[in-house]
Structure 1
Amino acid sequence: MKKYLFLFIIPVAIFASDGSKNYDIIPRLFNFVLFFGILFYLLKDFAIKAYNARIKSIADRLDDIQNKLRDSKAKKEQAKKDVELAKVRAKDLLEVAKNEVETTKAKSADSLKQTLLDLEKNYENKKEFESKKVTKEVVADVLSQTFNDPSVKLEQSKLIDIINKKVG
């Protein structure tokens, strides 16, 4: 307010320094006030409409921005919920995977034990079979040497008696 008052006083001081000339300040002031009064009266509706339109456009933009902000907040909250749900699902999947690993380990261990038992059994069977095979070969070799040796002469009846004693 002081600035405006200062701006109005400076021209008065400048014009007052010239001395007393015959100026028609009052009619000019009256014309000035009348001109701006008419101008204000004619342009007031246009200025009010422009001002109200500007206020409405600002309010509309503000509403749009607030709606976008609300939507963004809702999306953010939904994203947080989705992240929490994903974390819970990830934990569940980890637990399931750990259980699967433990189950697979147990099954593998059981299968390995069973395979080892089968291998040991097969080894024992094969060892027994090989032992019998070697025994048969040795017996066959000894018998063939015995029958082929001319110094040992056995009759068939004595041989049958010996075999019957061993078998029976």
Structure 2
Amino acid sequence: MKKLALLSLLMVPAILLASGGDAESTRYFAQTGRETDFWPRVVNFIIFASLLYYLIASPIKNFFVGRKEGIAGQLREIEDKLQAAKDEKKEAQTRLDESGKKAEQIIADAKKEATLLAQKIAEANESELILMEKQLAEKMTLEERRSAREAIDEILSENITNDDIMIDESKVVDIISKKVA
């Protein structure tokens, strides 16, 4: 349908102009002395095109130059942003590497500190064990003495009475004076 409409738009004016006949062309020839007006129309078209070019060429050039510069500016801006992003990525990677190294250092320090703390705790435990062993030995000697005293007191109290020991007054005074002195 579109092709038919386009074909009719082209053909109808051509048919109408072709049917003009010789009457008009003879009258034109009589007025101008030429058979066709092709060359004057070409000259008019060239003048029109030159004026149009003179008036419109500079703004069109400026538009396209401005458009070209705008696109180039946008491209430079995008490239700058891309480079900045790459730099930030490198910086972030560097910080990540440094953080990894710091983490390894912290872990190593923590392990060293843990071993030092374990050694200190072990040394403290050993010194506490030695102290406890000494205290145990002292308690054992005290208990041995106390049990020996109790055993001696028990044996003496059961077997020896006050009547069995004869102390006269001079011996009692000597014993008390020794204890006081």
- TM-score tier, shorter chain, comes to 0.7 to 0.9
Q: Where has structure 1 moved over 6 Å in runs of 4 or more? A: none
Aligned to 1:46: 59
1:33-112 aligned at under 5 Å gives the runs 33-112=46-125
- Shift in CA distance, 10/98, structure 1 to aligned 2, threshold 3 Å: farther
Aligned to 2:19: 20
Aligned to 1:164: none
* Offset, 1:44: 0.7
The secondary structure found in structure 2 opposite 1:155 is: coil
Aligned to 1:127: 140
Amino acid at match of 2:83: R
Identity %: 23
Query: TM-score, normalised to structure 2's length?
Result: 0.68
* Offset, 1:52: 1.0
* Offset, 1:154: 3.5
The secondary structure found in structure 2 opposite 1:148 is: coil
Which of 130, 136, 141 is equivalent to 2:149?
Answer: 136
* Offset, 1:28: 5.8
How many Å separate the matches in 2 of 1:135 and 1:43? 133
How many pairs were matched up?
149
Aligned to 2:174: none
CA RMSD of the aligned region, Å? 3.1
Query: TM-score, normalised to structure 1's length?
Result: 0.72
How many Å separate the matches in 2 of 1:143 and 1:91? 76
Amino acid at match of 1:133: R
Amino acid at match of 2:104: K
* Offset, 1:127: 1.3
How many Å separate the matches in 2 of 1:126 and 1:25? 144
